[in-house]
Amino acid sequence: MHASHQMSTLAVIDSLTTPCALTWLLQTAEMLTGFCPSLDGPHLANQPQSRQSTVFTNYYESIQAHTALPMTKPVLYTFGASVWSAVPEVAFRELGYGPNDIELKTINLLQGENFSPAFLKINPKATLPTLTVGDKAYTSTEEVVDYLIDNAPKPVKKATGSEKDIIARIHQDDIDPNFALLLSRSDEEKKARADGIVLAFLSGRQNALEKHAVTPEAAEFSDFYKAKIEGNGGLLSVYADKAPEDAKQKFYETSKQHWENLRDFILNVLPGYLPNSGFVAGAAPGEVDFHLGAWLTRIIATTGAKDVSELAAELKQPVPTKVASYWKAWSDRDSWKTVYAEGLH
């Protein structure tokens, strides 16, 4: 091989650092063997078929070894009403992935499909989002988004320092956006939520847990099923009006405290994270914004609002200017409009 050709070939390989780019190369490699100068000397087109096959195989394997990238399409397990699934769904649209770069598989949380033994083998926490790439599973929102950014066709700002602290903060239990959907502070609020999605959601989970727990495949996850059946069952009893009065009142008090935590965070903490305009990462959203945007959208959705301005009634004071500006920055983006096309969640 000529030195100049060898250098140009390695330069091309070095540039192929994303699954998308590698897929493109492998799809066009057959054409390369037909009209490019030989990867091993003379033109391959003039070589016997067996020789062409050997050279192409060696070249293919060298690419795999050089890039160490997966040869299987990543699979993102997601659900349309999941707050944290929205994070990678917005992210991969912002990151320039094509519609065929990542396979999306829906796990219906309303029917408790995440509690099947088959899914628990992939993610023992039974949470979404989950991403698999070959035999490797990424089982937290942070891990999934980190992978998508590292392998994206389009670069975005990765979270560092204080931005990592923001991500960690909004994933903490005291401002959990999932409990924000389930909380009730009074009999009236409980009835309204039960008549909506909450009772159906808890019932679907309980049915799935009890169904799967008795199967032979569930034996290795027995502790998981026991804890989930007890925890979800306790919450279900409140919404099904089967809980003792003291348990119901304790739930109301916990709910009041949770909402107060959310209120304080939105009014007093969140504005300190936000710029006067645009995103935390700058003019375009970055890693921290994918998490923060989904969190804020869920909190707004749990109040029945469709816009951040409507949050003022629950906050009992005006929405901070920076929070309103941040909401507008996100709600104007095509990625956000696509993910939330059927409503906030």
Q: What is the value of pTM for the model shown?
A: 0.80
Q: Which CATH homologous superfamily contains domain 75-150?
A: Glutaredoxin (3.40.30.10)
Q: Could you tell me if 271 and 322 are in contact, meaning their C-beta atoms sit under 8 angstroms apart? A: yes
- 22, 69 Cβ separation under 8 angstroms: yes
d(CA 200, CA 289): 31
Q: Which of 156, 11, 130 is nearest to 76 (CA)?
A: 130
pLDDT, tens digit only, all 345 positions of the chain: 444 433 333 333 233 334 443 333 334 333 333 333 333 333 434 445 544 444 444 444 444 444 444 468 999 999 999 999 999 999 999 999 999 999 999 999 999 999 999 999 999 999 999 999 999 999 999 999 999 999 999 999 999 999 999 999 999 999 999 999 999 999 999 999 999 999 999 999 999 999 999 999 999 999 999 999 999 999 999 999 999 999 999 999 999 999 999 999 999 999 999 999 999 999 999 999 999 999 999 999 999 999 999 999 999 999 999 999 999 999 999 999 999 999 999
Q: Looking at the DSSP assignment, which residues form a beta bridge with residue 279?
A: 282
Q: Kindly calculate the radius of gyration of the chain based on its CA atoms and give it in whole angstroms.
A: 25
d(CA 265, CA 209): 34
Cα–Cα distance for residue pair 235/198, rounded to 1 Å: 10
Long-range contacts from 229-234, C-beta under 8 angstroms, 24+ separation: 232/202, 232/205, 232/206, 233/206
Q: Which of 277, 201, 285, 283 is nearest to 239 (CA)?
A: 201
SS3 104: strand
Beta carbons of 177 and 298 less than 8 angstroms apart = yes
* Residue ranges per structural domain of the chain: 3-67, 75-150, 162-335
Q: Tell me the residue type at 204.
A: G
